[in-house]
Amino acid sequence: MYTWSFAPILQASDLFLLGAWITVVYTIGSIALGLVLGLAVCFARLSGNGPLNWFAQGFQELFRCTPLLVQLLWIYYALPLILGIDIPNWAAAMTTLSLYAAAFYAEVFRGGIVSIDKGQSEAGAAIGMSGWQVMRRIVLPQAIRRMMPAFINQSVTQFKNTSLVSVISVADLTYMATVVNGQTYRPLEAYTAVAILYFVILFPITKFADVVERRMRAGN
């Protein structure tokens, strides 16, 4: 019978906290960059400009139809050979996570915007509003409410996806578990501790997403 011993793990708690912090930084950073880029991609898709739409859609399909792990390895190991410059692991990690997030967020935004009844923008236009005023004052406020649950779910996924950066030695939470395992030879405790940490952070967020979704349904 295996005897659990969390004592060595607790001694390494500063490593876990540092890892958790790094994970949060990569999550928030890539969500923020992904938001901005995702919005740009979304508006490119909706612009009605042929080449722009085509380019944006190509970008989305590329990042949605290849595994994140492959993207990460490609940008870290393959891209530098093409560019002829070194890409540090943190930059490769942040870039890949942000591009990946942007591809998915763009689809969440686009779905929210096109789900708003055409009569809404026509009513705005009919009182003389410009296209941008209609978007900002009529369509977006309704679309944002509607896309909130999908947006939160995508962000939760994004948080978990950051664990992949450990394969290019970014010292995130998952990477720290491997480090602690190497020091203590206690894989069961090390990986259990890490799983618990992810869970403790994400569980309240998914509960919050449920509340948002229920309130949104009640509102409509």
Q: Given the structure tokens 């450990």, which residue do they identify?
A: 166
Cβ at position 48, least distance to other proteins in Å: 13
CB nearer to other proteins: give 34 or 112: 112
DSSP E strand stretches across 80-201? none
User: How far apart, in whole angstroms, are the C-alpha atoms of residue 186 and residue 182?
Assistant: 8
Radius of gyration of the chain (CA): 21
Q: Where are the alpha helices (DSSP H) in 47-88?
A: 50-64, 68-73, 79-83
Cβ at position 141, least distance to other proteins in Å: 5
Cβ at position 213, least distance to other proteins in Å: 17
CB nearer to other proteins: give 89 or 120: 120
User: How far apart, in whole angstroms, are the C-alpha atoms of residue 171 and residue 17?
Assistant: 11
Integer CA distances (angstroms), 3 to 181, 185, 188, in order: 16, 13, 10
Cβ at position 117, least distance to other proteins in Å: 8
* Residue 5 CB contacts under 8 Å (≥ 6 apart), including other chains: 186, 189
CA max distance for the chain: 76
User: How far apart, in whole angstroms, are the C-alpha atoms of residue 209 and residue 203?
Assistant: 10
Cβ at position 218, least distance to other proteins in Å: 11
CB nearer to other proteins: give 123 or 211: 123
Which chain residues interact with other proteins by CB under 8 A?
117, 119-120, 122-130, 133, 137-138, 141-142, 145, 220
Say which amino acid occupies 112.
G
CB nearer to other proteins: give 66 or 130: 130
CB nearer to other proteins: give 61 or 117: 117
CB nearer to other proteins: give 34 or 149: 149
Cβ at position 135, least distance to other proteins in Å: 12
